[in-house]
């Protein structure tokens, strides 16, 4: 039986505890990233943990890093618990904390922009378009409906805020900070990754409406894909057979949680900041079910009990 984990505590140097993951140093050149079962929405971390979420994120990312390796190198080394314990024997007594949810990766210098690719008009992009007719500051054709398909997909970077809410920025801003060669490389790789992912997902009945990639600079000075890839935390997954522009779509991610929180907010019971309201059990369970279903649909098997 797997157990729910809100925060891991491993005998390795802890470098960072993010919204979802603990990041531990493994020597100079590697990291062990442990995806907890924490869930955040609107950039606020909930008090409850969602069963199977961390394992789902780690194993789905591992699956994608394998497939996307033909497009770009990534930080991925292993998400296999046995292999990780063999490489790090000091973790042998801590298997319950890492089983299925830990990933051994190459350590990089993260690029401080999130590389967002949008194939459909949703979320903050729909919000911007509705307000100003633009996306990432660039004008879009008039009259697009909510959830409309964007062809070709649009690269819309965001800053990686240390705390608080990420901010959508123009490509020019990213270019000014990173330099044109790196910015252009990250844009074209992100679009190519999205294209590969969306073609595969479409065969399995899912639309990847949008997604966020992160990159880091390796010891050779070259960018590689880091963090997680094409998971329900970093993407919007919509069932193709229920797609209908002109409204928001049902999705295999934390939508049940977002919907519940949004309702609490409009009822004046939550102001949008931490601490969030306590979640009903049904919202936690329904959110966990969406993560498991996303894994099953994309990978084609149930989430394994231990990887």
Residues that bind ligand ADP (CB under 6 A): 16, 18-21, 23, 31, 33, 75, 105-108, 110, 214, 216, 226-227
Nearest approach, Cβ of residue 219 and ligand ADP (Å): 11
Q: Which is nearer to ligand ADP, 20 or 121 (CB)?
A: 20
Q: Which is nearer to ligand ADP, 75 or 292 (CB)?
A: 75
Give the separation between CA 278 and CA 280, rounded to whole angstroms: 7
Nearest approach, Cβ of residue 224 and ligand ADP (Å): 8
Nearest approach, Cβ of residue 38 and ligand ADP (Å): 8
Give the separation between CA 102 and CA 59, rounded to whole angstroms: 9
Residues in contact with 147: Cβ distance below 8 Å, sequence separation at least 6, in sequence order:
120, 121, 122, 126, 209, 238, 243, 244, 245, 246, 247, 248, 249
Q: Which is nearer to ligand ADP, 18 or 123 (CB)?
A: 18
Instruction: Tell me the pairing of strands 158-159 and 206-217.
Output: unpaired
Q: What is the DSSP letter of 254?
A: S
φ and ψ of 296, to 5 deg: -60, -45
Using DSSP, state whether 77 is helix, strand or coil: strand
Q: Which is nearer to ligand ADP, 128 or 227 (CB)?
A: 227
Residues in contact with 255: Cβ distance below 8 Å, sequence separation at least 6, in sequence order:
290
Q: Which residue has the tokens 């051994």?
A: 104
Q: Which is nearer to ligand ADP, 37 or 128 (CB)?
A: 37
Q: Which two tokens stand for residue 74?
A: 């990534």
Nearest approach, Cβ of residue 107 and ligand ADP (Å): 5
CB nearest ligand ADP: which residue? Answer: 18
Residues in contact with 160: Cβ distance below 8 Å, sequence separation at least 6, in sequence order:
110, 112, 113, 114, 166, 214
Q: Which is nearer to ligand ADP, 216 or 232 (CB)?
A: 216
Nearest approach, Cβ of residue 163 and ligand ADP (Å): 9
Nearest approach, Cβ of residue 236 and ligand ADP (Å): 16
């Amino acid at each position: 039986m797997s157990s729910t984990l809100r925060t891991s505590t491993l005998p390795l140097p802890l470098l960072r505890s993010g919204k979802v993951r603990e990041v531990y140093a493994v020597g100079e050149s590697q990291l062990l990233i442990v995806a907890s079962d924490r869930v955040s929405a609107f950039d606020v971390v909930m008090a409850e943990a969602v069963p199977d979420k961390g394992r789902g994120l780690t194993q789905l990312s591992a699956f994608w890093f394998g497939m996307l390796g033909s497009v770009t190198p990534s930080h991925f080394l292993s998400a296999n618990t046995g292999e990780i314990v063999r490489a790090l024997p000091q973790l042998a007594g801590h298997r319950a904390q890492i089983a299925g949810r830990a990933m051994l990766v190459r350590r990089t210098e993260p690029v401080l922009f999130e590389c967002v690719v949008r194939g459909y008009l949703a979320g903050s992009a729909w919000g911007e378009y509705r307000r100003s007719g633009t996306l990432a500051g660039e004008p879009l054709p008039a009259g697009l409906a909510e959830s409309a398909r964007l062809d070709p997909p649009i690269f819309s970077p965001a800053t990686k805020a240390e705390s608080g809410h990420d901010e959508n920025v123009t490509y020019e801003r990213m270019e000014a900070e990173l330099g044109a060669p790196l910015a252009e490389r990250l844009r074209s790789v992100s679009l190519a990754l999205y294209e590969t992912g969306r073609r595969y997902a479409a065969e399995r009945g899912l639309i990847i409406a949008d997604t966020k990639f992160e990159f880091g600079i390796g010891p050779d000075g070259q960018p590689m894909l880091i963090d997680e890839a094409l998971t329900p935390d970093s993407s919007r997954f919509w069932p193709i057979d229920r797609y209908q522009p002109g409204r928001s779509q049902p999705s295999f991610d934390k939508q049940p949680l977002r919907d519940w929180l949004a309702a609490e907010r409009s009822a004046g019971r939550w102001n949008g900041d931490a601490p969030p309201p306590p979640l009903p059990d049904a919202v936690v369970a329904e959110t966990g079910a969406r993560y498991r279903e996303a894994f099953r649909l994309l990978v084609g098997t149930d989430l394994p009990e231990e990887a």
